[in-house]
């Protein structure tokens, strides 16, 4: 592989939500990839380089939009000049728990704060006296709730609250933990729980009035199918319901739905217009900000579409099916059903169904690449890339940044 060491670095991200479960920020997970993709001997310099590239050449700052990115900072990187290349208004510097609270570290953190940076302290599980000065400097405290009992967590919060810090609960794995942290006054939340079906079990998929009216306008204006498809792509909830409607209306139809355009054609414009009118009348209060998981689903779909195009340029059919597989992969978290239950009545193309239910085929490998790049799991990413030798690290970085920018544009359009 001819790509340079700096190109061998991947960007993962994990959403951080507020008390209303709306997107507040992302933790950006930068990986050196030294074991899998390049001979990187200086991990700190490699991380610094990829961050600088990401925020200047790749435009991740633009992709984050109004949301910030939390950046992990170890002791060496804390003192690196490269750190000061980061846009202060777009990042939160997350001081890792491995950083010793020496006088030099505390002084450096004070200087960064004076320069306009927001600081967070990572993985706090107890208030050690040695960290008192460092704790006084940071604005956000990330509490690792996993090793703490309910009583220990409550006692820790009682000590932190008088300090006036913003509390972020990390590694939230269950609804019970989420509710406890809400009661204790946490304002920010992060953890695997937010990818679980229980997060919004029983809730309807969000369809903003704006999106529905936009689609209605396109239909009434006799827009091309490609325009309708483009308007539907940022709306995973609408897309799934469209597929359900298509298979319900076309009962007995032996066609396999391969794309959104195909679904629109099979359903027919008149039926589509009636369906949208029904949704407009049935929808309640407008949700302008949208559900963060829906935005994640749309972003994943776009990333898979871009990667499919990198893998097989000009094969629009593969790209369409990759998009569908991407958005469908997060549906279990949105409708509290297994992927098999969701897929069964939809009449999806075979490779889409196989990718979702069995992780097989090219689309299955693309889905694993997407999921592992999001989480920063380099071992899984390496294994998935081995199945698709046509894809390289540079292509993934480029596609991921484009998908983030696309998702940010969606969020901007849906804002009041």
Q: For residue 42, what are the domain limits?
A: 5-195
169 and 234 assigned to the same domain = no
The whole-model pTM stands at 0.61
pLDDT tens for 138-183 read: 999 999 999 999 999 999 999 999 999 999 999 888 888 989 999 9
Q: Are 155 and 276 within one domain?
A: no
Q: Of 138, 166, 195, at which residue does a domain stop?
A: 195
Q: Kind and range of the H or E element at 169?
A: strand 166-170
| Structure confidence at residue 390 (pLDDT) | 82
For residue 11, how many other CB atoms are within 10 A of its CB?
24
Whether residue 15 is found in the same domain as residue 152:
yes
Q: Mapped to the 3 state alphabet, what secondary structure does 133-168 carry? A: HHHHHCCEEEEECCCCCHHHHHHHHHHHHHHCCEEE
Total domains, the chain: 2
Is the distance from CB of 224 to CB of 246 less than 8 angstroms? Answer: no
- Tell me: do 204 and 190 sit in the same domain: no
Encoded tokens for 230? 């483009």
**Which CATH number goes with the domain that contains 100?**
3.20.20.450
Residues 402 and 279 placed together within one structural domain of the fold = yes
- The pLDDT of residue 252: 43
- Both 75 and 187 in one domain: the answer is yes
Same domain, 105 and 210: no
Residues 182 and 210 in one domain: no
**163 and 21, same structural domain?**
yes
Same domain, 191 and 203: no
Angle between helices 316-328 and 350-358 (to 10 degrees): 40
Residues of the chain under the 50 pLDDT cut? 1-9, 31-43, 46, 50, 57, 195-207, 248-252, 278, 281-289, 413-414, 416
Residue 272's CATH number: 1.10.3210.10
Give a three-class secondary structure readout of 69-124.
Answer: EEEEECHHHHCCHHHHHCCHHHEEEEECCCCCCCHHHHHHHHHHHHCCCEEEEEEE
Name the domain boundary from 152, 178, 195: 195
Tokens standing for 41?
């001997």
Indicate if 20 and 129 belong to the same structural domain: yes
Which of these three, 146, 168, 195, is where a domain ends?
Answer: 195
Instruction: Give the DSSP letter of residue 205.
Output: P
Do 129 and 13 fall within a single domain?
yes
């Amino acid at each position: 592989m001819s790509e340079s060491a700096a190109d061998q670095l991947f960007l993962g991200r994990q959403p951080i939500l507020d008390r209303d479960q709306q997107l507040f920020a992302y933790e950006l997970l930068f990986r050196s990839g030294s074991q899998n993709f390049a001979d990187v001997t200086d991990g700190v310099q490699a991380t610094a380089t990829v961050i600088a590239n990401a925020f200047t050449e790749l435009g991740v700052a633009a992709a984050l939009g109004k949301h910030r990115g939390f950046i992990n900072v170890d002791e060496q990187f804390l003192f690196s000049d490269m750190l000061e290349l980061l846009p202060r208004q777009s990042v939160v510097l997350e001081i890792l728990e491995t950083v010793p609270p020496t006088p030099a570290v505390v002084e450096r953190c004070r200087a960064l704060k004076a320069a306009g940076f927001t600081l967070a302290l990572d993985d706090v599980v107890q208030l050690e006296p040695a960290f008192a000065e460092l704790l006084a400097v940071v604005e956000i405290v990330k509490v690792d709730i996993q090793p703490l009992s309910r009583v220990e967590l409550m006692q820790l919060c009682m000590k932190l609250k008088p300090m006036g810090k913003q509390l972020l609960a990390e590694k939230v794995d269950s609804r019970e933990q989420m509710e406890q942290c809400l009661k204790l006054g946490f304002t920010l939340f992060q953890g695997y729980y937010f990818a679980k079906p229980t997060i919004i079990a029983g809730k309807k998929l969000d369809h903003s009035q704006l999106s529905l009216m936009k689609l209605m306008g396109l239909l009434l204006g006799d827009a091309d199918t490609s325009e309708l498809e483009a308007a539907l792509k940022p709306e995973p909830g609408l897309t799934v319901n469209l597929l359900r409607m298509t298979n319900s209306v076309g009962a007995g139809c032996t066609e396999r739905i391969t794309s959104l355009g195909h679904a629109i054609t099979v359903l027919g414009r008149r039926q589509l217009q009636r369906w949208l009118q029904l949704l407009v009348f049935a929808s309640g209060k407008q949700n302008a900000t949208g559900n963060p998981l829906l935005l994640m689903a749309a972003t994943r779909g776009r990333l898979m579409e871009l990667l499919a195009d990198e893998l097989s340029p000009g094969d629009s059919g593969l790209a369409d099916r990759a998009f569908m597989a991407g958005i469908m992969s997060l549906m279990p978290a949105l409708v509290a059903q297994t992927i098999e239950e969701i897929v069964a009545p939809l009449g999806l193309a075979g490779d889409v169904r196989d990718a979702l239910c069995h992780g097989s085929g090219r689309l299955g490998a693309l889905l694993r690449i997407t999921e592992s790049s999001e989480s920063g799991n380099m071992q899984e990413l390496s294994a998935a890339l081995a199945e698709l030798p046509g894809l390289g690290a540079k292509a993934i970085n480029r596609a991921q940044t484009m998908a983030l920018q696309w998702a940010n544009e969606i969020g901007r359009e849906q804002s009041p």
